[in-house]
Amino acid sequence: MTRDSGPPVDTAPADMAAEYDRQYRVWLDRQGARALDLDWRLRHLLWRQRVLLRRYPPEGKRVLDFGCMDGVFTIRLQQLGAQAVGYDLSPSAIAQAERFRGRAQHPTFTTVPPGPGQFDLVYCNEVLEHIEDDRAFIGSLIRFLVPGGMLVGTTPVGRFFWDPDHKRAYDERSLNGVLFPWGVTRIRRYYRTPLRNLLPLKQAGAAVFIFEVRPPSLRDAR
């Protein structure tokens, strides 16, 4: 599911939360019964999420899954040894995340943004392209990091995975322009088929940018 995660650090207005609840219900209807099958969802994580987990393993880290929807990726982070928190504006999605979690105490799910300076890693999967002020949004995510922490995430290349709510399509140059004010950045294009990622050429077909931002100083971000 891809959608606007709204203001990153303020509590969402009731009408905004209601709209995200509506979008989540629409997504559930489209996915069918498997959407509520946690084991199936965990076995079939999105390929770009699997790439993130390989490149940025969460074991032993305090991590935030920003825009977690119903928390499947957050649960996987916890399974891999993280202290994980999932944040989303949709109360319905967070309620389902808690049902998926069951009686376990962790991960934590919330519709209230965490305070600053708590996380070693912040994951942000396909949210950036939905945000009007994308540069300011990155700055708000940086504030969640502890010194030495890192922001990582994904966003579609060009118009692949296009959604009517997308505010823009990124190429590498435009994405770097959003990220670089906040630290040392790295951007890499990934394709669904692993063998295609070994070729040093741009190729046709669906792809995402996987990005990282390492802020040199969190004092300025706060």
Q: Which amino acid is at 137?
A: F
pLDDT at 197: 64
Residue 7 clears pLDDT 50, i.e. is over it:
no
- Per-residue pLDDT tens for 98-141? 999 999 999 999 999 999 999 999 999 999 998 889 999 999 99
Residue 35 clears pLDDT 80, i.e. is over it:
yes
Q: What are phi and psi of 22, to 5 degrees?
A: -60, -45
Looking at per-residue confidence, does 54 or 205 come out higher?
Answer: 54
Strand order in the sheet with 62-66: 108-110, 83-87, 62-66, 119-125, 145-156, 207-214, 184-191
- Per-residue pLDDT tens for 64-106? 999 999 999 999 999 999 999 999 999 999 999 999 999 999 9
114 in a domain, yes or no? yes
| 16, two tokens | 């905004």
CA distances from 142 to 8, 129, 151, 157, 216 (A): 11, 17, 7, 23, 11
pLDDT at 72: 98
Provide the number of structural domains found in the chain.
Answer: 1
pLDDT at 195: 63
The mean predicted confidence, pLDDT, of the chain is 88
Q: Do residues 42 and 72 make contact, with C-beta atoms less than 8 angstroms apart?
A: yes
Q: For residue 164, what are the domain limits? A: 14-221
104 in a domain, yes or no? yes
Q: What is the mean pLDDT of residues 6-33?
A: 79
- Scan for tokens 């945000």, then name that residue: 131
pLDDT band at residue 206 under the 50/70/90 scheme: confident
105 in a domain, yes or no? yes
pLDDT band at residue 63 under the 50/70/90 scheme: very high
172 in a domain, yes or no? yes
136 in a domain, yes or no? yes
Paired strand residues for 156: 208
The CATH number for 193's domain is: 3.40.50.150
CA nearest 73: which of 36, 34, 46?
46
| 29, two tokens | 């209807």
- Per-residue pLDDT tens for 149-166? 999 999 988 776 777 778
Q: Do residues 108 and 86 make contact, with C-beta atoms less than 8 angstroms apart?
A: yes
pLDDT at 204: 62
pLDDT at 4: 39
1 in a domain, yes or no? no
Q: What is the mean pLDDT of residues 30-44?
A: 95
Q: What is the 3-state secondary structure (H, E, C) of 107-151?
A: CEEECCCCCCCCEEEEEEECCHHHCCCHHHHHHHHHCCEEEEEEE
Sign of CA dihedral 154, 160, 166, 170: positive
Q: What is the dihedral of CA 168, 169, 174, 178, to 10 degrees?
A: 50
| 192, two tokens | 């669904």
97 in a domain, yes or no? yes
2 in a domain, yes or no? no
Looking at per-residue confidence, does 5 or 178 come out higher?
Answer: 178
Residue 221 clears pLDDT 50, i.e. is over it:
no
All residues at 6 or more sequence positions from 167 whose CB lies less than 8 Å from its CB, including other chains: 129, 130, 131, 132, 134
CA nearest 63: which of 153, 183, 186, 189?
153
